[in-house]
Amino acid sequence: MLEIRNLHASVNGKEILKGINLTIKDGEVHALMGQNGAGKSTLSNVLVGNPAYEITEGTVLLNGKDLLAMKPEERAHEGVFMSFQHPVEIPGVSMVNFMRAAVNAKRKYHGEEPLSASDFLKLMREKRKIVELDNKLANRSVNEGFSGGEKKRNEIFQMAMLEPTFAILDETDSGLDVDALRIVAEGFNKLRTPQTSAMVITHYQRLLDYLKPDIVHVLLNGKIVKTAGPELAQEIETRGFDWIKEEIGL
């Protein structure tokens, strides 16, 4: 369970998050919507410990543990994963070495032996299938020269490898063609367990048709201003955000 209480954060001295309160229970999928620049990616980055963002107030508990006190890698080991809105290219670091380092670091954290080379490659093969990631991509440097859609698919492949219990998808649908979106979304659903929860950021209903969120939030101007069921996403798809702004008197 993730509990965010009164979270304030700024970047370069400018306050972006102005008191976020949000609880995501095990097994739940929450959608987070809101206009460009509202602070959705900022919230995601703060949760995964990106040092570019400064937390000025508030607490975040993950399964009762103080998330904000952990290093980014510890958060990952504790089950937090973020599918980046803009995945980074890392020339010269092969996907295999990258994933091996990630998987084995997590195993070490949990007191497990590193995977043997053959077991690891077998795991890569299995997980590639879930999102139909081309073997050629898996043999290249991390995201280097990947198309926009390939990068997003690669994010969910990494999620499959790391089996997080709390996943943040930051506009994973953007850049994916219709078929790729279906494959990636269905892949995500296959990876879900009763313990997995997720925060899904998107501007469009299409991804949510697959993921079937339990709850939809609207983030505006650094605050969650509206929370409702999946029907809220439908309404935003047709009506935009202006009516919500009016409702709250913005």
Partner 1 sequence: MTGGQKYISQNAEGALLISIPKNVQVEQPIRVTIERQPGEPLEEDRHICIEMGESASACIILDDKIKEADEPTKTKQEILVTAGENSKLQLYEVEETHFEHERKSQITVNQKAYSNVTLLSLTLLSGHTENTTTVHLNGEGAETNLLGGVIADGHQHVENHTLIDHAVPNCQSNELYKYVLDQDAVGVFEGRILVQKGAQKSVSQETNANLVSTKTARMFTQPALEIYADDVKCNHGATVGQLDEKALFYMQQRGIPYDEARMLLKFAFVGEVLDQIPLEAFRERLRHLVEKRICGELPSCGACKLCK
Ligand X SMILES: Nc1ncnc2c1ncn2[C@@H]1O[C@H](COP(=O)(O)OP(=O)(O)OP(=O)(O)O)[C@@H](O)[C@H]1O
Interface with Mg ion (CB under 5 A) = 40-41, 85
Q: How far apart are CA 86 and CA 220, in angstroms?
A: 21
- What's the 3-state SS for 29-59? EEEEECCCCCCHHHHHHHHCCCCCCEEEEEE
Smallest gap, in angstroms, from Cβ of residue 61 to partner 1? 19
Of 132, 162, 133, 160, the closest CA to residue 146 belongs to 133
For ligand X (CB under 6 A), the number of binding residues is 13
With CB under 5 to 8 Å by kind, the binding choice for 202 among Mg ion, partner 1, ligand X, none is: none
With CB under 5 to 8 Å by kind, the binding choice for 16 among ligand X, partner 1, Mg ion, none is: ligand X
Nearer to partner 1, 124 or 244 (CB): 124
> Using CB under 8 A, which of 20, 24, 60, 87 touches partner 1?
87
Q: How far apart are CA 233 and CA 163, in angstroms?
A: 27
- Rg of the Cα atoms in the chain: 18
With CB under 5 to 8 Å by kind, the binding choice for 238 among ligand X, Mg ion, partner 1, none is: none
> Using CB under 8 A, which of 21, 56, 65, 73 touches partner 1?
73
Nearer to partner 1, 16 or 233 (CB): 16
- What's the 3-state SS for 124-182? HHHHHHHHCCCHHHHCCEECCCCCHHHHHHHHHHHHHHHCCCEEEEECCCCCCCHHHHH
Nearer to ligand X, 12 or 135 (CB): 12
Window 135-154: residues binding partner 1 (CB under 8 A): 141-142
Do 9 and 222 contact (CB within 8 A), yes or no? no
Tokens, residue 229? 């069921």
Residues that bind partner 1 (CB under 8 A): 48-52, 71-73, 75-77, 81-82, 84, 87-93, 97-99, 101-103, 105-106, 109, 141-142, 158, 162
